[in-house]
Amino acid sequence: MSPRHRRTVEVETLAQLDALVAAGATSMAGWQLQDLDLRGHADVLRGLDPRGALLLGCTLDPGLEEQLRAGGAVVFPEVPGVPLDPYRAHLYSPDELYDGLASGDYADTLDARVYAWTRRTGHDLHAMLAQALHDLAIDDALAEWVSGRRLVGVMGGHALARGTDGYADAARLGRALARAGLTVATGGGPGAMEAANLGAYLSGHDDAALPDALELLAAVPGFEPSVGDWARSAIDVRSRFPDGTASLGVPTWFYGHEPPNAFADGVAKYVKNAVREDVLLHLCTAGIVFLPGRGGTVQEVFQDACENYYALPGEVAPMVLVGRAYWTEELPVWPLLERLAAGREMAGALHLVDDLEEVAGLLAG
């Protein structure tokens, strides 16, 4: 088989490796082994032809790395001295990012440590390489996570406080979208993003769960002055209402002063914000809902509009702007969108509504 047509096999668990060997594999051609502790598997690996294999961040027994390279495998070694795993095979979970919070301070968590590291690395090539590899690994993990799901984006202001009517509306929107069979995706941060992920998380619970959760969260309206208190209150809600519906958060350490919310089960946290924004917009093929927001939300509106403007026929995704007065008077984005879309396929994909109950019907078809 030529290299151009070689079958790619992603090996991300030891169970997958054992199954391939048990099935009689003799060659590792096309295998991509990622983030595995392979110590104790030296004899197994030596019994396989390593030509064409790719090993990313795997831990190997002494001397095996040189043998695999000599046999034709490409081996990317571990990157020492960095707080993140550049080769991780899966998205983050809230528990992973906030590990240690229950017994300590937010500054002790993985999320805070990575942010602090990104702030002090500057243009150090060692750190830049680790960050680039990490974001590439998140791309791969995210592609696996979204497979088979119809994603709808919810964009809105990060400053929207818990306990406000706007926060409750965003939560009810997230719940309605999830109940319509869509997977909610947000920027993964606080405010409207947290509210939408919260609503999606509780969509499988009875209707009384959301008002109860909103009341509990209102006691800590925002992440200032204490990220720890803010995050702990969300984790407490998850404990009270376990087994929530999965949704996606795509935050970034570029805005690390805005912590990730704990209601998105899949967290694709990137180092580079430009990569994160582009990825989030591309994933939401079922459409994007834009709640009132400021600079970041307006930027996302026009990024999405640009993609729809140049999209191939049949690939235009719906855009739903919520709040007629807001988008026509406060920030008059809507008239410009209408003029931009005139005579193009995207014109039929633009919607401006006041009633949140209309939104799920516009996107679930």
The per-residue pLDDT for 5 is 45
Question: Bridge-partner residues for 267, per DSSP?
Answer: 92, 249
Question: Bridge-partner residues for 351, per DSSP?
Answer: 320
Cβ-proximal residues to 342 (8 Å cutoff; 6+ apart), any chain? none
Structure-token pair, residue 199: 């609503």
The residue extents of the domains of the chain are: 3-76, 140-363
* Whole-number Å distance between alpha carbons of 110 and 118: 12
Q: Is the pTM value of this prediction over 0.95? A: no
Instruction: Convert the pLDDT of each residue in 306-329 to its tens digit.
Output: 999 999 988 999 999 999 999 999
> Does pLDDT of 4 surpass 90?
no
* Whole-number Å distance between alpha carbons of 135 and 98: 20
- By DSSP bridging, strand 151-155 and strand 74-76 are unpaired
The per-residue pLDDT for 318 is 96
In residues, how long is the chain?
Answer: 365
Q: Which amino acid is at 16?
A: Q
Of 241, 293, 284, 278, the closest CA to residue 263 belongs to: 241
* Whole-number Å distance between alpha carbons of 321 and 323: 7
Question: Average pLDDT for residues 144-170, to the nearest whole number?
Answer: 96
Share of the chain above pLDDT 90, in %: 89
> Does pLDDT of 3 surpass 60?
no
Question: Average pLDDT for residues 202-215, to the nearest whole number?
Answer: 98
Q: Which amino acid is at 38?
A: L
Question: Average pLDDT for residues 23-51, to the nearest whole number?
Answer: 96
pLDDT band at 203 (very low <50, low <70, confident <90, very high): very high
pLDDT band at 208 (very low <50, low <70, confident <90, very high): very high
Of 290, 361, 353, 281, the closest CA to residue 317 belongs to: 281
The per-residue pLDDT for 6 is 56
Structure-token pair, residue 247: 């949704």
- CATH number for the region 140-363 comes to 3.40.50.450
Residue 28 near residue 48 (C-beta atoms within 8 A): yes
Buried-state track 222-258, b at ≥16 Cβ within 10 A, e below 16: bbeeebbebbbbbbebbeebeebbbbbbbbbbbebeb
* Whole-number Å distance between alpha carbons of 136 and 85: 11
* Whole-number Å distance between alpha carbons of 207 and 238: 16
